[in-house]
């Protein structure tokens, strides 16, 4: 597993994938937070709300782009046969690759803490920013990215075409993040199933953590979804044996 983790991280950072995806992420964010209309400086409020509502939508596209080659490429070139005939289990392969992509997401995530510091410094008042809610939002955002990574890797494992993997990944990320929330607000579910359907989606749990209350149920939910997609990926990898 360590060997695979090492190889995948080397691959991400020796190719341009890591640098381009990080550059895209920061440029889009910086433009929206500090330059374009409706930016933090114009609004005169010391809050990172824009950052926390915008970032999930960037990640819906960015993370599947990073993970799309994970398995699709190995299947396309046949190196999957090289990997799976080595003395490592299929689950170890999946986890190795997941951790490598998670490492890149962590590496991308940490510098965004600068926005927090920047907004805090720019503010004039004594208690400038709602720290509790902001910390909670950061934790929620990190888990959200971690779930998207698992979804992206799963999408990559069900096809040998990287573009299909990307599109399926975007669709599943969107479905998990926003679609359940939207479905729950359809009138037919009103008052009965709406809360349940909403709580299947990521959005509800992300919002819940963002309020600054780190509830173990939400954390457990994120970890379960990650496990679910990792097991799904292993199943897809083992489907050659059926």
User: How many angstroms separate the CA atoms of 56 and 61, rounded?
Assistant: 9
Site size toward another protein (CB under 8 A) is 24
Q: Check binding of 99 to another protein (CB under 8 A).
A: no
Q: Where are the alpha helices (DSSP H) in the chain?
A: 2-14, 17-30, 40-43, 49-67, 69-77, 79-84, 90-109, 113-122, 131-157, 162-174, 180-184, 194-200, 202-210, 216-238
Burial group, residue 152, by CB count within 10 angstroms (0-12, 13-18, 19+) = buried
Spell out, one character per residue from 4 to 43, where the chain touches another protein: x when CB under 8 A holds, - when not.
x-xx--xx--xx----------------------------
Spell out, one character per residue from 59 to 78, where the chain touches another protein: x when CB under 8 A holds, - when not.
------------------xx
Q: Check binding of 87 to another protein (CB under 8 A).
A: yes
Q: Check binding of 239 to another protein (CB under 8 A).
A: no
Nearer to another protein, 121 or 241 (CB): 241
Which of 2-10, 104-112, 206-214, 229-237 is the region at the interface with another protein (rule: CB under 8 A)?
2-10
User: How many angstroms separate the CA atoms of 52 and 129, rounded?
Assistant: 14
Minimum distance of another protein from residue 105's CB (angstroms): 22
* 40 within 8 A of 33, measured Cβ to Cβ: yes
Spell out, one character per residue from 110 to 149, where the chain touches another protein: x when CB under 8 A holds, - when not.
----------------------------------------
The two structure tokens encoding residue 148: 């998207």
């Amino acid at each position: 597993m360590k060997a695979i983790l090492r190889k995948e991280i080397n691959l991400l950072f020796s190719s341009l994938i890591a640098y381009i995806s990080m550059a895209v992420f920061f440029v889009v964010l910086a433009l929206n937070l500090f330059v374009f209309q409706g930016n933090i400086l114009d609004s005169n409020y010391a809050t990172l709300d824009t950052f926390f509502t915008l970032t999930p939508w960037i990640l819906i596209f960015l993370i599947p782009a990073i993970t799309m080659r994970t398995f699709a490429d190995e299947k396309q070139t046949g190196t999957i046969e090289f990997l799976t005939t080595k003395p490592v289990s299929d689950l170890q392969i999946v986890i190795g690759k997941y951790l490598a992509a998670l490492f890149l997401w962590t590496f991308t995530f940490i510098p965004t803490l600068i926005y927090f510091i920047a907004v805090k410094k720019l503010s004039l008042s004594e208690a400038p920013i709602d720290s509790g809610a902001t910390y909670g939002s950061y934790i929620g955002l990190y888990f959200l990215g971690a779930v998207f990574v698992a979804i992206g890797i799963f999408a990559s494992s069900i096809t040998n075409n990287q573009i299909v993997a990307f599109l399926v990944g975007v669709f599943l990320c969107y479905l998990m993040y926003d679609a359940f929330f939207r479905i729950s607000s359809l009138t037919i579910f009103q008052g009965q199933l709406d809360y349940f359907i909403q709580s299947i989606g990521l959005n509800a749990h992300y919002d819940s953590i963002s309020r600054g209350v780190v509830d173990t149920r939400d954390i457990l939910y994120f970890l379960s979804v990650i496990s679910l997609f990792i097991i799904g990926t292993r199943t897809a990898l083992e489907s050659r044996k059926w």
